[in-house]
Chain A
Amino acid sequence: MKTFLFRNKLLTFALIFVAFQVLLAVLAPTLGFQDPYNQVMIQRMKPPSAINFLGTDQLGRDVLARIIYGYRTSLVTCLTAVGIALVIGGMLGMLSAFYRGWIDRIVMRFMDILFAFPILLLAIGVIAVIGPSTWGAAIAIAIVYTPIFARLLRGPSLVIVESEYVMGARAIGASDARIIFSHLLPNLASVILVQVSLLLSAAILVEASLSFLGLGAQPPTPSLGLMLSEGRNFLLLSPWPATFSGFAILFLSFGFNLLGDALRDTLDPRLRTQD
């Protein structure tokens, strides 16, 4: 009982921590932050002050505003990417498990091909083809994560498909679509929830790495990875943009990871061994 409460305390904390950051990002335009695009040349590279709580960047823009709007860029990119990967990859994984045989073999081999690439390299390759931008990064991350979702959901799907009640549903003549949507999907909900949270956390780091290499969001878009990448060039002149954007990436990714971890413990103890 005590451990259950503890887990929930952790879950509550994780939820609040994530919700706080997400809300800041979503509500940013209404919260009275400065214009993240406005350059004030005489205020370049200033340390934190009463006007700029986190200082200013190399073009005199408010670091706090750029971080908050950077959260928006990160979240939009990563949610889109993980969403696409979940729908396509998850679908492929479930269908493979459901139909088995040749479909399974072909789909999973194709997923293996994508999975065999180092994550960042595949993303870099995809972006090189479609061009560096926020959406480019989102598509690249989606492609990289598709095989991961397919593999993650295929295993549990296999177990469910072979369970007695799905067998039973088949016996009474339920259609494939009905079995997939009313039996398979609901039973996968907790796995999906946990994995989405964990992969979002990882996606935030991938997006930051891509922006760091100049392949993600492009100027003047506020982006955490880009800010870190630009800020490291003048770290000794003004450490603020690089330091704060680094912390912002850490907090955002940390929040989702903690949430996933707490969810896993709370929702389904059996899932804990599947990493």
Chain B
Amino acid sequence: MTQPALAVAEPPGRIKAETQPALLAVNSIEVIYDHVILVLKGVSLSVPRGGIVGLLGANGAGKTTTLKAVSNLLHAERGDVTKGSIEFEGERIQHLTPNDLVRRGVIQVMEGRHCFEHLTVEENLLTGAYTRQDGAAAIQQDLEMVYGYFPRLKERRGSQAGYTSGGEQQMTAIGRALMSRPKLILLDEPSMGLAPQLVEQIFEIVKRINEEEGVSILLAEQNTNVALRYTTYGYIMENGRVVMDGDAQALRENEDVKEFYLGISAAGRRSYRNVKHYKRRKRWLG
């Protein structure tokens, strides 16, 4: 796979996240599926403008549900936000439809790619511009911008997306979201089912999109190791709760994170007692 062409302009300087009000603020939300199944038990997090934030944790921790609560795809799956609030640019967005949210600049890239299989790669990208009203020229320009990040997609633009590789589908899905000119991309599990080298490459591009286009990113990822290297801040979820959060750097050096999520431990294998200690600690944090 060819490397993306170098951008002509230097990336603009990063905005100091700390001084800005949060772009997205999720305040202790509770999510119930089908009126009975409690999935999120009070999750709070925030994404600063221009930030790239990781939402980490194992299977079933509630990462995807959190993203879907923000993008309101939850409603189509009979899920409801029953407590707490979600604010985007200072406004509550819980009751908006996905269509309204995409217009406002919040778009989700779903887990497992979800490309339109029988549409060509280019048509897939164009569906991302469905909500835009700013004319064909601007959309064409953005198409070229997406091809700039993913030269591979330009080569495959005429192929049916269903016949492209997993990596190409992931690129198509990200490119499609980018076509809506979003302010915030909710990126769910981009590494799923991809070769480690490809994962690295895709994260590289996501990071560049974040820096060069000024798009904020909330990234749900099981692959803690990779995610903590490309994000600036991380939240770790377990059983529908955020159990730990901090700067990515700090999380990478945290002993518990190392032990349980990165699979490395300086002190060798720990004793059972320490595991219990961690569990106690987890409860306390939750």
On whether the two chains bind one another, the answer is no
| Contacts from B to A (Cβ < 8 Å) | none
User: Which residues of chain A have a CB within 8 Å of any CB of chain B?
Assistant: none
